[in-house]
Every structure is written in structure tokens, then in C-alpha cells.
Amino acid sequence: MHDLPSENTQTTGNLTPSAGQIEREFTVKARTQTQLVVRRFLQHKLAVVSVFVLVAIVLLAFVGGALWHYSYTDITPDNSVSPSARHPFGTDNLGYDEFARVMRGTQRSLEIAFTVAILATIVGTVWGAIAGYYRGIADSAMMRFVDLVLTIPIIAAGALLGHHFQSAGWWALALVIAGLSWPAVSRIVRGQTLSLREKEYVEAARALGAKDSRIIFRHILPNVIGQVIVVVTILVALAILTESSLSYLGFGVQAPDTSLGTLIASAQTALQGGQWWLFYFPGIMIILICLSVNFIGDGLRDAFDPSQQRVRA
């Protein structure tokens, strides 16, 4: 798991607006937390551009395939031609249109990535919240388990299980990756929960007789959401990279189906043979998706926690 904000950094500073904004704050109506976050996010230009890029890619992947004049299964009469108006990304030896294949591959990769992100976030969040909320033995046992899972390299375990569930299709691969990546989420949520559970409003809720489940889901989790959303973006990028790595090793998405990793794996020798388009386009697509997702994550992090943004006094 890369680049996760650690539990013990960034506690200094909070939502104080910079000096220039203070005067306006008094004349303009009060903003909610969400409005503040959205405003701060919109100031991060790269992140905003990334949102548009990502939306474009998602549309291309899920709608583009239906509109394009070739399907990814069509064998066109043009073998191994370089990019042209008819085949924007060229074709391979058998005459498959690379543009159609990249769109299809992107769709598969995104489906896996989104499934992983959703599953890992839910499991990791609930796990971390329960561990952090109950502390004691439950916490120790649950977090030691997390430590254990983290000793296993994702690629290795993913390769083993990916090989085993090869015939089950893409969702099995998504389950495997999700099963290996939720521990990182639970660590972050646990850290937050540990400090939030001591807050006065949680105590107030408990004094009013709220049940544990209500306190966790209504009072604690909504306040962890900022961190969790940032983690989701990291998970999406991580899942795309893991999926493509496993497919490259031959343990991921299998032949009649295709993903960005599978496309690169089959284009390995193509680069030596001069068919650069088969290698570059799926790779650039992965980079574009991960870059935009990472930038969005960065923008969200700044928006939820601007403490590192201020210039030092």
C-alpha cells in the first residue's frame, strides 16, 4: 500500500481560513463543511482537470465500445497497421482493432478497480472502526490479523489465488485483490476511531443511550469519511496496477476476455517487432487513469485536511 497518510502525521492546523478570506467570511453566509471541502477541492486545478479526464475515460470505456464501428472481437481485414484515421490505435497481427480492445480492456480494468475499491473500503472501514471503538482484546486480535495479512506480498498471493480461480472470471480476481488490500484501510480507520471515540459528542451520544452500532455508524464513521475517500482513490490506482501486473504474469484476466494488463502482456514482443502502438496505448491508458485518480486523491486530501497547504509563517 503506497502513500497512505499515516495515523500520526498532520494533526496540527485546522480549517482556519487564510488571512485574506477572514473579512469575507463575516459578510458572506456561513458555509457548511461540505461546501468548504468542495471549494478547496476546486482550487486544486490538477485535481479538477483529473476529474474531467477520468470521467472521459470512464465514458469511453463503458459507452465508447458500443458506439465504435469495430467490436473488440472483430477481426478486421487490416493486419498490423500503424495508427490511422480508420484505426486510431492501429491493429495487431490478427487484425483486431486496438482502439476497440483498449476500450474493452479499460472497461474490464475499471470494473475490477471499482469493485476492489468498494469491497476493500467497506470491509476495511468496518473492521477498523470496530477495532478502534472496542479497543482491548478485540482491537489487539483484529489488528494483529491485519499485521499478518500485511506480511503477504499482494502480487504473490494474488498470483497464487488468481491462478486457482482463473476460470471464475474477473470478479474472482477483484475479490482476491480486495481480500488482500483492505488491511491498509482498516489501519487508517482504526487510528481515527481511537481518537474520535474520546470526543465529547460521542460521550453525549452514549449518555443519551445510543447503542454502539449507532455511535459507530452515525457518529464516528461520518467523521472518518474524509480520510476514507482519499484511501479509496489510492485503492483504485493500486487495484489497476495490481490487476495489470497479475495479468502480465499470466495470472489475471484470461485470453478471450481482455484487460489493460493482458493487452500489454501480449504486446511485449510487439515492441521489439516495431508495433509500438500495441505496447504504448494500453500503458498510457493505465498511466492516465492512475495519474488522474492520484491527483484527485491529492486534491481531496488537501480539501479535507488543509494543514499542509499553508505557507509557513
Partner 1 sequence: MLAFAVRRLLVSIPVFILSTFLVFLLVTWGADPLAQLKAKNPPPSQAVIDAMSNTLYINHSLLERYWHWFSQLFFHGNWGPSVQSGTDIGQLLRTSLTLTARLVILAMILAVILAIIAGVISATRQYSKTDYSITLIGFLFLSLPVFWFAILLKQLVVNMNNSLNWYWISTYGANTPGLTGWSAFSDAAGHLVLPTIVLAMSSYASWSRFQRASMLDVLGSDYMRLARAKGLSRRRVMVRHGLRTALIPLTTQVALDTAAILGGAVLTESVFGWQGMGTMLVNAINAGDFNAVLAWLTVAAIIVILFNLIADLLYGVLDPRIRNA
Binding positions for partner 1, rule: CB under 8 A? 1-3, 5-6, 8-10, 12-13, 144, 147-157, 159-161, 163-164, 237, 241, 244-245, 248-251, 261, 264, 268, 271-272, 279, 283, 286-287, 289-291, 294-295, 298, 308, 311-312
Helix axis angle, 221-249 to 154-164, nearest 10°: 70
Closest to partner 1 by CB, 5 vs 83, is: 5
Counting runs of H as helices and runs of E as strands, what totals does the chain give?
14, 0
Closest to partner 1 by CB, 37 vs 270, is: 270
Taking a C-beta distance cutoff of 8 angstroms, is the pair 211, 200 a contact?
A: no
- Cβ of 62: how many Cβ atoms within 10 Å? 14
Residue whose C-alpha is closest to residue 69's, from 104, 94, 99: 99
Closest to partner 1 by CB, 153 vs 169, is: 153
Q: How far is the CB of 93 from partner 1 (least distance, A)?
A: 18
What grid cell was written down for 189?
A: 480507520
Closest to partner 1 by CB, 84 vs 308, is: 308
Distance CA 241, CA 264 (A): 12
Distance CA 78, CA 87 (A): 9
Q: How far is the CB of 110 from partner 1 (least distance, A)?
A: 15
Q: How far is the CB of 133 from partner 1 (least distance, A)?
A: 24
Q: How far is the CB of 275 from partner 1 (least distance, A)?
A: 12
Taking a C-beta distance cutoff of 8 angstroms, is the pair 174, 111 a contact?
A: yes
Q: Running DSSP on this structure, what letter comes out for residue 311?
A: P
Closest to partner 1 by CB, 73 vs 268, is: 268
Q: How far is the CB of 36 from partner 1 (least distance, A)?
A: 21
Taking a C-beta distance cutoff of 8 angstroms, is the pair 33, 305 a contact?
A: no
Q: How far is the CB of 203 from partner 1 (least distance, A)?
A: 29
Closest to partner 1 by CB, 118 vs 271, is: 271
Cα Rg of the chain (Å, integer):
23
Q: How far is the CB of 242 from partner 1 (least distance, A)?
A: 9
Q: Which H helix or E strand runs over 281?
A: helix 276-304
Closest to partner 1 by CB, 220 vs 242, is: 242
Taking a C-beta distance cutoff of 8 angstroms, is the pair 213, 94 a contact?
A: no
